[in-house]
Amino acid sequence: MNSLLGAGVIFLSGLLLARAFRWFKIPSITAYLILGIILGPVFLNVIPGKIISISGLISNFVLGIVAFSIGRTFHRENFRLFGRQVLWISILEAIGAWFMVTVILLIVFKSIAVAIVFGAIASATAPAATIMVIREYKARGPVTNTLLGVVAIDDAWCLIIFAISLAVSKAILFHQPGTQLMLINVFTKSIIEIIGAFFLGAILGLMLDFVGKILRTPEEVLTVSIGFIFVAAGISMHFNLSVLLTCMVLGLALTNIRNANEQFFESLQKVDTTLFLFFFVLAGANLEINQLENLSVMGVFYLIFRIIGKVGGAYIGGKISNASSQIQKYLGWGLVPQAGVALGCALVVKSELPEIGGLIFSTIVATTVIYEIFGPLCTKYALIKTGEIEEKA
């Protein structure tokens, strides 16, 4: 099959399978992933090698768009809307999952570089799956509202935690362990990667705001948006800065400079669904079957301790912010689903740290499929327990 035909098959069968999965109340992302696994080298092997070989490029670009869109969440007015409770809970459930997964994998596998990155990916959630459950059962009430606020912002915390963790992990892997010099090097390199990304994102944001004033048509706005995301990702890669953080800060800067800059985000929303389909199918196709035998123990630890971290972190966040006991006890269960951002982060690890990335990526693909099927059930459980949906639902 040639590349063009392969791309056509991916788009059309992706849409069909997503429609079919919707009948069974399974999120579209799971359909795309499973399609990628079936069409990829593991089973049918019909996705042309040329398409698989550009996965890295497509992933970086799509993740740039994802991070850019997530940056929009940091609009100053949103913080007023979210309030203290959502901020405390979202920060602590993200850190809780990062901490629990990092600690358990460090104890079991003795590698801080692997454990810290796994932990960071664990902090991500899947707003789409949680929102799907809330819409389907028409959930209403204080727990539902807090849960929606938390899922709206927690992937933004995840990107920050991930960028810092990846920088530390890279610095550890690239330096000889056990020396004092190594600690200084790790610290300096990580700080440069993070601060550099912040500066680059902010400068590009100012530039894009300026360029936006001279654009004439929606088509020009879309073209320039795509161009700037490529530029942000490209410069970041060239200077070894965090691509995700640069793009997120670009979005953050733009949304806070002028209301009119919403045009950039809205233009990308016209094309992002199609790009996400391609991205997830390729993510599924990149699954390495030989890694599956190694991931059983790691996958089980990851699945269990991520949930403990989310539920525990949400409990502590709820306690600190004086949330109701129902929010403290059950909100964390609504955060179990995991999908797009976690997969994206895993793809970044795969391309930036190939020596450990294969195992991490395969674990995240496998656990995403499990979380996307059982995660919505956990969300439903939380909402039934709090009385915000009826038990018979």
Partner 1 sequence: MLIKDIMLKNVLSVERSTTLSRLLKSYEKFHGLPLVPVVDENKHLVGQVSIQDILSVFTPHGRDLQRILDSLPFVEREKEDIFSSDIPSEMGFLIVVDDFMDRKVISLSEDLPIEEAYQTFGKYSVDEALVVNKENQLVGIIGKFDIILAVFRQKGII
List contacts with partner 1 (CB under 8 A).
28-29, 65-66, 69-70, 72-73, 77-78, 81, 126-128, 131, 135, 138, 140, 144-145, 148-149, 151-152, 155, 215-218, 220-221, 259-260, 262-263, 265, 269, 272, 276, 339-341
| 340-352 and 354-385 helices, crossing angle to 10° | 170
With respect to partner 1, which residue has the nearer C-beta, 169 or 255? 255
Q: For residues 4 and 237, what is the distance between their CA atoms, to the nearest angstrom?
A: 28
Nearest 10 degrees: Cα torsion 72, 77, 82, 87: 70
- Quick one: 200 or 222, whose CB is closer to partner 1? 222
Query: With respect to partner 1, which residue has the nearer C-beta, 221 or 307?
Result: 221
Find out whether 30 and 367 touch, Cβ atoms under 8 Å: no
Minimum distance from residue 28 beta carbon to partner 1 (Å): 8
Angle in degrees, 0-180, between the axes of helices 340-352 and 272-285, rounded to the nearest 10: 60
Cβ-contact 242, 166 below 8 angstroms? yes
Residue by residue, DSSP assigns 286-306 as: T--GGGTTTHHHHHHHHHHHH
C-beta closer to partner 1: residue 215 or 237: 215
Least distance in angstroms from the C-beta of 299 to partner 1: 22
How many angstroms separate the CA atoms of 172 and 178, rounded? Answer: 10
CB of 44 to partner 1, least distance (A): 26
Q: Which is nearer to partner 1, 77 or 391 (CB)?
A: 77
CB nearer to partner 1: give 209 or 272.
272
Q: How far is the CB of 27 from partner 1 (least distance, A)?
A: 8
Environment class of 41 (CB within 10 Å of its CB; exposed 0-12, middle 13-18, buried 19+): middle
The residues near 332 (Cβ < 8 Å, ≥ 6 apart) are: 93, 307, 310, 311, 312, 313, 314, 315, 382
From the CB of 149, what's the least distance to partner 1, in Å?
7
Return the number of the residue (191 or 260) whose C-beta is nearest partner 1: 260
| Residue 258: DSSP 8-state | -
State the minimum distance, in angstroms, from the CB of residue 152 to partner 1. 5
CB of 25 to partner 1, least distance (A): 13
Minimum distance from residue 140 beta carbon to partner 1 (Å): 6
Cβ proximity to partner 1, 165 vs 263, nearer residue: 263
Residues 166, 59: Cα–Cα separation, whole Å: 17
In whole angstroms, the minimum distance from the beta carbon of 138 to partner 1 comes to 7
Question: Nearer Cβ to partner 1, position 21 or 305?
Answer: 21
**Closest distance between partner 1 and the C-beta of residue 11, in Å?**
17
Long-range contacts of 252-256 (CB under 8 A, 24+ apart): 252/71, 252/72, 252/74, 252/201, 252/205, 253/71, 253/201, 253/202, 253/204, 253/205, 253/206, 253/209, 254/71, 254/72, 254/205, 254/208, 254/209, 255/71, 255/72, 255/74, 255/75, 256/74, 256/75, 256/76
Q: In Å, how far from its chain's centre is CA 380?
A: 22
Taking the least distance from each CB to partner 1, the nearer of 66 and 369 is 66
- Smaller CB distance to partner 1: residue 262 or 322? 262
Round to whole Å and give the CA distance between 225 and 221. 6
Query: Cα separation of 343 and 142, whole Å?
Result: 30
Work out how close the CB of 135 gets to partner 1 at its nearest, in angstroms, rounded to a whole number.
6
Going by C-beta distance under 8 Å and a sequence separation of 6 or more, which residues neighbour residue 191?
A: none
